[in-house]
A and B are shown apart, each in its own frame.
Chain A
Amino acid sequence: MANTATEYIQHHLQNLTYGQLPAGFERVDAHGQFLETLTEPTWTIALTPLEAKAMGFWAIHVDSMFWSLLLGLVFAVLFSYVARRATSGVPGKLQNTIEAIVEFVDTSVRESFHGKNRLIAPLALTIFVWIFFMNLMDLIPVDWIPGLATLAGIPYMKVVPTTDPNITMSMSISVFFLMIFYWIKVKGVSGFVGDLALHPFSSNNLVAKAILIPINLLLETVSLLAKPVSLGLRLFGNMYAGELIFILIAMIGWTQLPLHFGWAVLHILVITLQAYIFMTLTIVYLSSVYEEH
């Protein structure tokens, strides 16, 4: 590639973004060549990171969504296929594998969650397998799919959805809303507010209790909001850092091979671990809702 190292890295870290560019925007291509000045707001694919930024919130990362949906479909089709044909007799190899994963997730859920909730186990399974699949994309050499995409005329292609904070944060925020939903469903609005206002500090004295309410509210709200943020950013950070190192290794020429191999082997551990951590924390957060203080 004729690009400089900076361009190479930037290229690999830019999502394929589809959105609306405002009127009067001066478009330039990736090499700084002036293309046109837009006369009216235009829906298009961003050619540079600057354009992607100018599109604002109402833009979508086509590559992240594509790979995430594709891998989600792989999960859904594979698992529902096995589930539909599952036999309680002697299982085949595929069914055996799926069963092992399901039992692993089931054990994890049973260990930390003791309430009655039909959602939490399938939720944990979906999170674990889907995130694992998305992380697994990290092991495909970093230039293969983006290289093919460039040949096909697609300017950017980021294949690991979990290196996109939108993907990880949307999952952690969804988990967060589920948590709030079950919190209110199990304990009612008063229980929800009570959990936030009357803990961790409480007193038998009514005046002291009233004084402690704002402190409790502050503490509990911060710790509550920290949950989805840390959950999403942990996964994003780990995968982003891993991806970045793959990109850096990819830049050093033929000597990259042993390095790449070593990092990939280490990464097999990381991607599994991160999927597992996301799942476990989801279970823990949801089960904390069912606990009495």
Chain B
Amino acid sequence: MNINATLIGQSIAFLFFVWFCMKYVWPPLTRMLDERQQKIADGLAAADKAEKDLASANSQVAELLKEARAEAQGIIEQANRRAGQIVEESKTQAREEGDRLKAAAMAEITQETNRAREALRAQVATLAVAGAERILGEHLDEAANSRLIDDLAAEL
């Protein structure tokens, strides 16, 4: 336990190790720790930002979905309306066509009837004259009688 030159030797060693630590140990370690701190701070900030971005993207998606749904609804309504319209139009057209056809048929029928009646009327006159000739056995004054017959035929 004597006090001796070990005192000096250890002092030199002490100062050397302190110098060494100050030069080669402490600065790189603290620099690295600061760097890590910065990295973590950046990472947390990025995570925050990403979260915010996600939230805004989500709300945007919701907005877009709502719009799309509304649009689809509109399109469906329009289509329904158009379909109804088309059906209505077709019905009207069909009815009109039917009416037209019916009218044409009626006109033809009337025409045919008239034509048959005219023909019949003409033949009735001849037949009546012929019948009357046969009954009377002689020729009648054809001109005087034909007027009579025509009157008769007009009455038919």
Q: Could you tell me which A residues sit within 8 Å of B by CB distance?
A: 13, 15, 17, 19, 52-53, 55-61, 64-65, 68-69, 72, 75-76, 79-80, 82-84, 86-89, 98-99, 102-103, 106, 118-119, 121-123, 125-126, 130, 161, 164-167, 169-171, 173-174
Q: Which residues of B contact A118 (CB under 8 A)?
A: 22
Q: Which residues of A contact B9 (CB under 8 A)?
A: 60, 65, 170
| Minimal Cβ-Cβ distance residue in A for B35 | A88
**Interface segment out of the listed B24-32, B52-60, B83-91, B96-104:** B24-32
From the candidates A61, A122, A170, name the one contacting B21 in the complex (CB within 8 A).
A122
From the candidates A68, A99, A122, name the one contacting B33 in the complex (CB within 8 A).
A99
Can you give 16 A-B contacts (C-beta < 8 A)? A55-B2, A57-B5, A58-B4, A59-B2, A60-B5, A64-B6, A65-B10, A79-B25, A83-B29, A84-B28, A89-B39, A119-B18, A119-B22, A122-B18, A123-B18, A171-B11
Q: How far is the CA of A63 from the CA of B15 in the complex (A)?
A: 19
From the candidates B10, B21, B28, B35, name the one contacting A171 in the complex (CB within 8 A).
B10
Q: Which residues of B contact A99 (CB under 8 A)?
A: 29, 33
Q: How many A-B residue pairs have CB under 8 A?
A: 130
Closest beta carbon of chain B to A162's beta carbon, Å? 11
Q: Are A174 and B11 in contact, with the CB atoms below 8 A?
A: yes
Q: Are B4 and A69 in contact, with the CB atoms below 8 A?
A: no
B136 at the interface (CB under 8 A from A): no
Q: Are B6 and A61 in contact, with the CB atoms below 8 A?
A: yes
Q: Which residues of A contact B35 (CB under 8 A)?
A: 88
- Knowing that A59-B4, A80-B20, A170-B8 touch, tell me 20 more A-B residue pairs with CB under 8 angstroms: A56-B4, A59-B5, A60-B6, A61-B6, A65-B9, A72-B16, A76-B17, A83-B28, A83-B29, A84-B28, A88-B35, A88-B36, A89-B39, A99-B29, A102-B33, A164-B1, A164-B6, A166-B7, A171-B10, A171-B14
Q: Are A166 and B17 in contact, with the CB atoms below 8 A?
A: no
B135 at the interface (CB under 8 A from A): no
Q: Which residues of A contact B28 (CB under 8 A)?
A: 83-84, 86
| Minimal Cβ-Cβ distance residue in B for A55 | B4
Known interface pairs A76-B21, A80-B24; A169-B7 also in contact (CB < 8 Å): yes
Q: Are A173 and B25 in contact, with the CB atoms below 8 A?
A: no
Q: How far is the CA of A164 from the CA of B35 in the complex (A)?
A: 41
Q: Which residues of B contact A68 (CB under 8 A)?
A: 10, 13
Closest beta carbon of chain A to B81's beta carbon, Å? 65
| Minimal Cβ-Cβ distance residue in B for A83 | B28
Q: Are A65 and B6 in contact, with the CB atoms below 8 A?
A: yes
Q: Which residues of B contact A75 (CB under 8 A)?
A: 17, 21
